[in-house]
Amino acid sequence: MTLTPKQRVELHEFNNLTKSLSFNMYDICYTKTKEERQAYIEYIDEQYNSDRLTQILIAVSDIIGAHVLNVAKQDYVPQGASVTVLVSEGPVVEVPTESFEESPGPLPDNVVLQLDKSHITVHTYPEYHPDEGISTFRADIDVSTCGEISPLKALNYLIHSFDTDIMTIDYRVRGFTRDINGHKLFIDHEISSIQNYIPDEVVDAYHMIDVNVYQEHIFHTKCKLKEFDLNNYLFGYTKDKLSPQEQAEITELLKTEMDEIFYGRNISS
């Protein structure tokens, strides 16, 4: 089904389709000692505490044109944070034509989009390997909307909000709505790939793999950063403090960790 802004379907009631975006990001770091690991986790907990995460989710609600009804947030001990934002339909201007196009969404403060009801959640998961010096941080963000706009329009902002080595992105349209003749509509916009909602400069920076089930309206994209600079993965010092052998060993550990997360399986050494 192809819809353009001029080919709007008149619905029986409101748009009952549920569109869900799951955005998972991973940050990876080499932490040689227990003290370094603890310092890294403390840094992550401060950088992505519940207050900062709340600001990110409220910006997402602005992008999709929603009113925030309620915010529940929690910083956990010893680590991690969660935020849930319940939102309702915001003040609606004319639905922009780009809402029907496969293109990256806006950054905040330049567009208002339409939805009926929604929730947005984020959970963080700092952790570390028991003996190999690898620490990882994962943030899971879920945006679920009912209405005319896909939450994929918030993806551009989410990517810009995190410094991420690996991203896994899932998008699914569920349920159905009806036109005035009772005919069911199981999706209300064209989509061929989540990649089309990611800015070109981000696409160019990552290796990307799609796993899509078009007939079920299920879309999955995995992204791994192409460039590798060891200095970006050391916490508190640079690679010039390491011997060539240490640099090679640490690089292998980090790349193996990234590959295992990207491909979703353990890789034998």
SS3 147: coil
d(CA 27, CA 25): 7
Which string of b and e fits 115-144 if b means at least 16 CB within 10 Å? bebbbbbbbbebebeeeebbbbbbbebbbb
Residue labelled with tokens 């034998």? 268
Q: What letter does residue 113 receive in the DSSP assignment?
A: -
- Which residues lie closer than 8 Å to 58 by C-beta, 6 or more apart? 68, 71, 85
- Annotated catalytic residue within 82, 123, 217, 220: 123
119 included as an active-site residue: no
88 is catalytic: no
Question: Which are the contacts of 167, defined by CB distance < 8 A and separation ≥ 6?
Answer: 23, 24, 25, 26, 159, 206, 221, 222, 223
Distance CA 48, CA 54 (A): 10
Choose the catalytic residue: 144, 146, 189, 223. Answer: 146
The amino acid that residue 125 corresponds to is Y
Question: Catalytic residue among 118, 135, 144, 161, which?
Answer: 118
Q: Round to whole Å and give the CA distance between 175 and 226.
A: 37
Distance CA 202, CA 103 (A): 13
Residue in the block written with tokens 């679920």: 144
Query: Is residue 118 flagged as an active site residue?
Result: yes
Read off φ and ψ for residue 165, nearest 5 degrees. -90, -35
| Catalytic residue ranges | 118, 123, 146
